[in-house]
Every structure is written in C-alpha cells, then in structure tokens.
Chain A
C-alpha cells in the first residue's frame, strides 16, 4: 500500500508492472486516472494549481485505503496525486488496486476515488479568461461518496 504526493508526472504502466512483480496472487488490477480538462463550469481553463495539506493528505488517503481493505480483499493499492501547476491534458491522480478478482478491484478503486474527492485535503485554483478562481466543491461528489455508506 502506497501513497505519493508529487509534482512530477507518473507512468501508469511502470507503476502497475512494479505492483505485479513477484505477486502471483494478483488476478485483477483496476486503475483510475484523473486528467485536467480544458473547461469547467462553462469556462475555458488554461491552467490550474493544486494546493494540499502536507501530512494530512497522506494520512487521509492512507485511512481511505484502510477502509477499502476492510470492505474488499485488496492485495495492494497505490495512490499518486500530483500538486503544483497543471494544464489541460495533464494527469492529476492515479489509483491502482490489485485483488484476486475483478469485482473487488473495480469496487475498491471506485470507493477510494469517491472518498478521495470528498475527504483528502486538496484544493484546485484554475485560471480562466475571467481570471483565477478557487474551484467549488460539487454536491455530486458528496453524493458519490454517500453511496458507499450502508
């Protein structure tokens, strides 16, 4: 299980290969990649900066992975989240979950991402033709995380 917060880009294939290496129990790997779009709330986005709360970020994502491990049979999990300045088409976040079977892998990957969106302390500030603005949290993200509370 691993959590990395970094400015640098990531190589999904290399990360998955590293996770698979020497672990013959793995039968399914699900991954999610979040990418910067060039539009948000109807405005063109030319750039964004991601701020976070060092320490709490790693701790909160670690806790989310622990919750996922309590619900599904997770053999390994990796979350990489970028911070700093990003532009459209840049990768922002990678979640990789390795399990014995696909059902657990798909569910745990989606769960980690839904919780990361609503609990991990990151904030986006985007640059549009109207100037720079802090991105507002979305109610739909709260609803997505709420689906898992049962």
Chain B
C-alpha cells in the first residue's frame, strides 16, 4: 500500500546505534511487509545496513504485537524494531 504513513520505533541497542528512537515514514511503493521494510531501512547504509542486516537477530512488532517478516503493513501502523528481549 503506497501513500501510507507509519510510525517507526527503535529500542535499546538499535536506538543507540541508529541514533534515532522514532520516525514517521511514508511507505514507498512496494514496501508492504515487515521484511521488505527492513530491507528498505538496511539500504540506508552505515549503521542501518549493519543493524538491519538479515543475519542480525532482530525482533519486530506491529501495533505492539510481535510480528513475523510477512506481516502486512498499512497506514497508521506503529512498527517497532528491537533486539531479542532481556527482561526478567
């Protein structure tokens, strides 16, 4: 779905290495799932390429629920990327 704006959130190590906690993004045409979004972010290069690399263990949530790579994205979604959790 092109023309859709989503909110992206980054936590913990990602937030620090990307130097960003939150951004609004107009999804480019063709970016319709979580895994395509991740590849799109990796294409920014530098720390983005490193943190979003397919080999990196990364978790993601769509609207505050853990989601897999094939999860579809739509306007208004809150999408979060973060390292595997370490609470408790």
Please judge, given known A-B contacts A53-B9, A56-B64, A134-B13, whether A122 and B80 are in contact too, CB under 8 Å: no
Please judge, given known A-B contacts A51-B12, A53-B9, A123-B13, whether A93 and B64 are in contact too, CB under 8 Å: no
Could you mark each residue 1-28 of chain B with 1 if its beta carbon is under 8 Å from any beta carbon of chain A, else 0? Answer: 0000000010111000000000000000
> For residue A56, which residues in chain B have a CB less than 8 angstroms away from its CB?
61, 64-65, 80
Q: Which among A51, A53, A55, A116 is the interface contact of B88 at CB below 8 angstroms?
A: A116
Q: Which among A34, A55, A137 is the interface contact of B85 at CB below 8 angstroms?
A: A137
Could you mark each residue 56-88 of chain B with 1 if its beta carbon is under 8 Å from any beta carbon of chain A, else 0? Answer: 010001001110000000000000101111111
Q: Please give the number of chain B residues whose Cβ is less than 8 angstroms from any Cβ of chain A in the complex.
A: 17
The residue of chain B having its C-beta at the shortest distance from the C-beta of A115 within the complex is B88
Contact A136 B64 (CB under 8 A): no
Closest Cβ of chain A to B9, distance in Å, is 7
Please judge, given known A-B contacts A116-B88, A120-B87, A135-B86, whether A125 and B12 are in contact too, CB under 8 Å: yes
- Say whether chain A's binding surface is mostly helix, strand, loop, or mixed: mixed
Interface residues on A, range: 20 to 34
Q: In the complex, A81 Cα to B13 Cα: how many Å?
A: 20
Please judge, given known A-B contacts A53-B9, A56-B80, whether A123 and B64 are in contact too, CB under 8 Å: no
> For residue B82, which residues in chain A have a CB less than 8 angstroms away from its CB?
53, 121, 123
Please judge, given known A-B contacts A51-B11, A51-B12, whether A122 and B85 are in contact too, CB under 8 Å: yes
Q: Which among B57, B61, B66, B88 is the interface contact of A122 at CB below 8 angstroms?
A: B88
Contact B64 A117 (CB under 8 A): no
